[in-house]
Amino acid sequence: MFLAQEAIRTKRDGKPLSEEQIQAFVQGITDESVSEGQIAAMAMAIYFQGMNEQEKATLTLSMRDSGEVLNWQQLDLGGPVLDKHSTGGVGDVVSLMLGPIVAACGGFVPMISGRGLGHTGGTLDKFDAINGYQTKPDNERFARTVKEAGVAIIGQTGQLAPADQRFYATRDITATVESVPLITASILAKKLAEGLDGLVLDVKTGSGAFMAEYERAVELARSLTSVANRVGVKTSALITDMNQPLASAAGNAIEVKLAIDYLTGRHRDPRLHVVTHALAVEMLLQGGLCRTHEQAAERVEQVLVSGAAAERFAKMVSLLGGPTDLLERPEQHLAKAKIIKPLTLADSGLPQQGWVNAIDTRAVGMAVVALGGGRRIASDPLNYAVGLTDLAGIGCKAEADLVLATIHADSEDDWQQAAATLTEAYRIGAEAAPEQPVIYERMGD
């Protein structure tokens, strides 16, 4: 007979858990025969004692199999099922372009995304900013959208990896969220439940990242790729920079507009383009849609220039209940803030000579949260219109008329509060900071 306390004792004492112990513990999480106190004790034991590769793989598969695992074979898609996961950041709007790009290249992307919490923005919140878009469609509409548009970006259902939802809720209140084995299993359980042929991971590092220290980001990327490949899903990871916002904008409706501009070619932020393009190339290679890096890069450029990627985005939005003319008339369908005005360097009181040489990216994200564009707790309502545009990046010359950000606010008080937060977030130095790469390292395979 399985006793949860004996499994906890095993891990507490630094011994590896057996496959049977892990499977039974996860089953107990799912059917609630394991108590919240026991979940907390196991999470703490794993936090301090860690897990070996086999344990992590077993935990991942057990949590994946605690609910529904999607099967795409009956739809005869005619291409690989692919997805990506980002550990989150500020101005990370990549998913909105990446899914349609890969779809236009012949992949199928059933991207199940989450909401923002803390300083990071959530992909699902961005799509909720689109009038009519259904982020929780029924299974039939979800499957039809994947088949016809090649991409559907929706929210997690209760049927996918339900054990993870209960496990994570306990980790969140017991200071065990940062455990690499538990992060690995949590991320991969949900992604593998999508029935994937290939997966690409974007692991952020820097002042706005969940794993701020580079070494911890490497540890997480290595764990994720090792476990995913071990259980049979071709996976690679890019470690990317989050020492400044990835894009020049942050906010929900604001980032949707940014994605539309990117896909239609109106404007592409250079750093955002580097990461989006690189992840798209990785997905095409993982899915076997291209043989070489050069072929994949050329294919990505083709679908952007031809407008094929933009067409996939438009089709996905339409099939999931959104407007049919979002690309042509985004201003008619996306909320606009009551106050939109810039914060210049002269207004901020910061030095007006030198260069922007550091940004507290987490603080920039929290400025969006304070405006109403993010959540302090999961139940907080969102104001989709607010946020930041024209964000100055590291390396900008410090002159009086330099715009640190254009603040989109609901009131003058909110604008002033955001301005104060941004002023604290930006550092001006006499010398320009050394240029940092956008992509630090590739891992996997």
Would you say 314 and 113 are in contact if contact means Cβ atoms under 8 Å apart? no
For residue 84, indicate whether it is catalytic. Answer: yes
For residue 397, indicate whether it is catalytic. Answer: no
Choose among 224, 144, 153: nearest CA to 194. Answer: 153
Instruction: Give dist(CA 80, CA 77) in Å, integer.
Output: 8
**Catalytically annotated residue among 190, 234, 277, 333:** 190
**Catalytically annotated residue among 56, 84, 234, 408:** 84
For residue 86, indicate whether it is catalytic. Answer: yes
Instruction: Give dist(CA 342, CA 406) in Å, integer.
Output: 4
**Catalytically annotated residue among 56, 64, 85, 234:** 85
For residue 234, indicate whether it is catalytic. Answer: no
Instruction: Give dist(CA 212, CA 88) in Å, integer.
Output: 11
Would you say 443 and 221 are in contact if contact means Cβ atoms under 8 Å apart? yes
Please enumerate in sequence order all residues whose Cβ is within 8 A of that of 399, keeping only pairs 6 or more positions apart, or say none: 345, 352, 353
**Catalytically annotated residue among 11, 64, 126, 171:** 171
**Catalytically annotated residue among 87, 184, 186, 318:** 186
For residue 92, indicate whether it is catalytic. Answer: no
For residue 83, indicate whether it is catalytic. Answer: yes
**Catalytically annotated residue among 191, 271, 299, 408:** 191
> What are 358's strand-pairing partners?
427
**Catalytically annotated residue among 86, 120, 236, 276:** 86
Task: Give the number of other Cβ atoms within 10 Å of residue 429's Cβ.
Answer: 13
For residue 190, indicate whether it is catalytic. Answer: yes
**Catalytically annotated residue among 65, 83, 128, 269:** 83
The one-letter code for the residue type at 337 is A
CA 381 to chain centre: 20
Would you say 84 and 98 are in contact if contact means Cβ atoms under 8 Å apart? yes
**Catalytically annotated residue among 123, 179, 236, 421:** 123
For residue 179, indicate whether it is catalytic. Answer: no
Would you say 121 and 255 are in contact if contact means Cβ atoms under 8 Å apart? yes
Give the active site residues. Answer: 83-86, 123, 171, 186, 190-191
